[in-house]
Amino acid sequence: MIEKYYEYKPPREKLIKIHMKTDGFYILGIMITGDFFILPEQGIDPIESSLLDSSLDSKEILSRVNSAIMKNGIELVGVSSESLTEAIIRTVE
């Protein structure tokens, strides 16, 4: 298992911090933090849970993030689902 950490500041958005465990092919654990807001406050939990066992394919990650957002009525403030996906992909590069 490989542990990775990455900070990503998208243009005109807030800082995203990714702490991730991976086997090089799949996400085994992930914690997403940063200077952004998620409503409701516990909204990060379903996003992180949806990413467990995801491949490191950007399309799959984006799909899982968007699905978690829609299913749980989550609102991202200061970041986009695309930026979260980019931060995750950059973490393993």
**DSSP single-letter state for residue 41:** G
Q: What is the CATH number of the domain that holds 82?
A: 3.30.390.50
Q: Are 75 and 43 in contact (CB under 8 A)?
A: yes
Range of the domain at 46: 2-92
pLDDT tens digits along 60-88: 999 999 999 999 999 999 999 999 999 99
pLDDT tens digits along 3-33: 999 999 999 999 999 999 999 999 999 999 9
pTM: 0.93
Tally of structural domains, the chain: 1
